[in-house]
Amino acid sequence: MNAILFEDLVPILQTAVGPVILISGIGLIVLSLTNRYARVFDRTHYISQRLSQASKDEYANFASQLKYLLKQARMIRMSLTLAALSVFFTALMVATIFICAFWQLGFPNIIAGLFITCMICLIGALIYFLADINMSLKTLKLEVKALKDEK
């Protein structure tokens, strides 16, 4: 095997580093999801503290909200898992691109498979993220209904 020249290394690095932008974008999604996850936990803690002093009507409302919050937490967890897997497969793809280019191996099917897997995980994460947003609207509607009932 011949030694690789610097001039040959630069295009390899450019090709391998390109998908890293995807990791950065997914990182922002993960940041948003972790903030939403923390918010669900904060809200759950707040409701569970108020549950012990709640009237019968408030108790039913809080129980409904907790049910939705648990579903929401599960959706966010799944979204985070899929986003993390997407980052994992992207990093694996970058390493594979670099290794294949550096040692002049031809594995385009593996690279394409990793990219497709990364995109499937990302799409799944976004679907769960949208489902979480819809679920949070349901909990908001329950809270607004409870406020209307109090008046």
The highest-confidence range among 11-15, 38-42, 121-125, by mean pLDDT, is 121-125
Q: Which two tokens stand for residue 76?
A: 């966010």
pLDDT, position 114: 95
pLDDT, position 125: 97
User: Crossing angle for the helix pair 20-51 and 108-150, nearest 10 degrees?
Assistant: 30
Cβ–Cβ < 8 Å for 87, 20: no
Residue 102 pLDDT exceeds 70: yes
Mean confidence (pLDDT) of the chain? 87
pLDDT, position 56: 85
Q: What is the mean pLDDT of residues 35-56?
A: 91
